[in-house]
Structure 1
């Protein structure tokens, strides 16, 4: 049985992650697995003091550092257990009955890669503990490589959640006619998560041929599956146009395919997916 894997870290965004996971679990009738990873704190190059102190002081210092590390580890474990317990309570209050929890040491990306075989959907916060939780590019960039690595490493759809989550009644599918966008449509049709929500299918013009025909075909596929679809072919800068449309039509959820261009090109030009994660103030589903 596939699970909704929700990553929590105790930051203010944890509540939104829990709410999004509960919403997805109820719509898909899937259990939630709340995951908390205890990552090793970064060192700052000031750990080796052996050249500046005597042998006796060195032994005492090492013992004290070992004791403090042990205390920090115990506190981190207990803090994580408390967070997981609170997350379970939140999901239960939302009406979810099948809930699991897991705590582990190590890197979050490694944990999610190992658990991917169990996942139907993954839910992560856009900003994590130790970062500014306010919306905006600066706060995202502190965690941006983490999310970008996750998008590249897993094949499970991701919900990337901002500091607040509201159950959506409408979603916007950013469609560009490429294979990743076509896959997004197929998964939306087959998945059931967005069934019954109003769909805004938006394409931004580029130099590719046959865009209007591709947009019409995508609209037909979604309409045939029972979606109410508003299809629009727009002009302008991709992220600017999508954000303006989202705000104008009060869209509550954005859906995109991941990384349409080659990895080499992204090194120089960046990615429309990443730009939207940086700039969007609403939850974003990334379909691999």
Structure 2
């Protein structure tokens, strides 16, 4: 698990993704892998229409559509190559020593899963190409990536600068304990102020776990500001984030199964949807 997989697609978030990937690669002294996935347009290709009523005899139209499909693919490929080349130039200027590029003709989630075995961190934009910069809903790929991979995922928003502090949302569950372990062992967040925030819930022994986690982080060299809140979970975390001007949010992955998710909702997804800060999801 060595590379910082940085997913570029030409969206409004690509510059932030590039900056976040470069920051992570330099902080961890790991190779930067610039990934561009060329996804099939959600339109009917010529071969899909060959059996349509009335089109069988109109071979000229089908040939024209095939030519347009081929041209579109060539343009997407060349634009992707130029984007990757520009990103590599920026990364070199900012001190990245090891940089790789790759293009995949596949869905971005499929491409990430194929490369995950050699990934240290996945950096991805909050929304993909085609969404407006002020689009509130997260891209459909985000939840799929978080659910399918076991590598930490850094979600970049429109702007990114090297963070000096982060808020760790700790709920006492196994996913949160694993996130703490990754923070201590990982190195990416070392040297940053940790805002350890727990909102009272029904988890057994939560206060004791909260205190133990605070001590563990302090013993590992983190400057910790610990807060135990009694509020609605989402509202409490959002208010703390705003009032304390943290630079990054850190959370464990989903606590519930996808079936339970449909009924209970997810504070993780709600935080992603409603924050403009970069967000690190740990498993």
TM-score scaled by length of structure 2: 0.95
1:171 aligns with 2:160: no
CA shift for structure 1 position 209: 3.0
The answer for the alignment partner of 1:88 in structure 2 is: 88
Equivalent of residue 272 in structure 2, options 274, 277, 287: 277
Matches within 5 A, 1:1-288: 2-43=2-43, 48=49, 50-52=52-54, 55=57, 58-134=58-134, 136-137=136-137, 140=138, 143-144=139-140, 146-288=141-283
CA shift for structure 1 position 88: 0.7
Contact 1:135-1:162 within 8 A present in 2 as well = no
Deviations 1:17-67 (A, max 9, x none): 000001101110001000001000002699748534682xx1110111111
CA shift for structure 1 position 136: 2.4
Equivalent position SS for 1:12: coil
Is the deviation greater in 229-238 or in 119-128?
229-238
Equivalent position SS for 2:158: coil
- Cα distance change of structure 1 residues 53 and 96 upon mapping to structure 2, 3 Å threshold: closer
Deviations 1:208-267 (A, max 9, x none): 232211110000000001101011111222121111111111101010000112332112
Superposed CA RMSD: 1.7
Deviations 1:58-106 (A, max 9, x none): 1110111111111111111101101101111121122112100000101
Residue ranges of structure 2 left out of the alignment (5+ in a row): none
Equivalent position SS for 1:193: coil
Contact 2:45-2:69 within 8 A present in 1 as well = no
Is the deviation greater in 207-216 or in 182-191?
207-216
CA shift for structure 1 position 282: 0.2
